[in-house]
A and B are shown apart, each in its own frame.
Chain A
Amino acid sequence: EIVLTQSPATLSLSPGERATLSCRASQSVSSYLAWYQQKPGQAPRLLIYDASNRATGIPARFSGSGSGTDFTLTISSLEPEDFAVYYCQQRSNWQWTFGQGTKVEIK
Chain B
Amino acid sequence: EVQLVESGGGLVQPGGSLRLSCAASGFTFSSYEMNWVRQAPGKGLEWVSYISSSGSTIYYADSVKGRFTISRDNAKNSLYLQMNSLRAEDTAVYYCATGGEMATNWGQGTLVTVSS
Contacts and interface: CB of A to CB of B under 8 A. Distances in A.
A55 B102 CA distance: 11
Given A44-B106, A100-B44, A91 B59 contact: no
Interface residues of B, number: 21
Contacts of B103: 34, 36, 44, 46, 89, 96
A87 B102 CA distance: 12
B110 to A, nearest CB: 11
Nearest to B45: A98
| Binding site secondary structure of chain A | strand
B55 interface: no
A60 interface: no
Given A43-B95, A94-B59, A87 B101 contact: no
A55 B105 CA distance: 11
A91 B101 contact: yes
A38 B39 CA distance: 12
Interface in A35-84: 36, 38, 42-46, 49-50, 55
B61 A98 contact: no
B73 interface: no
Q: For the side of the interface on A, what is the size category?
A: 20 to 34
A43 B108 contact: yes
B50 interface: yes
Interface of A: 32, 34, 36, 38, 42-46, 49-50, 55, 87, 89, 91, 94-101
A43 B102 CA distance: 14
B104 interface: yes
A45 B45 CA distance: 12
A96 B97 CA distance: 12
Given A44-B45, A87-B44, A89-B45, A96 B35 contact: yes
Given A36-B45, A46-B105, A49-B104, 19 more contacts: A43-B109, A44-B106, A46-B102, A46-B103, A49-B102, A87-B44, A89-B103, A91-B100, A95-B47, A95-B59, A95-B61, A96-B35, A96-B37, A96-B102, A98-B44, A98-B46, A98-B47, A100-B44, A101-B45
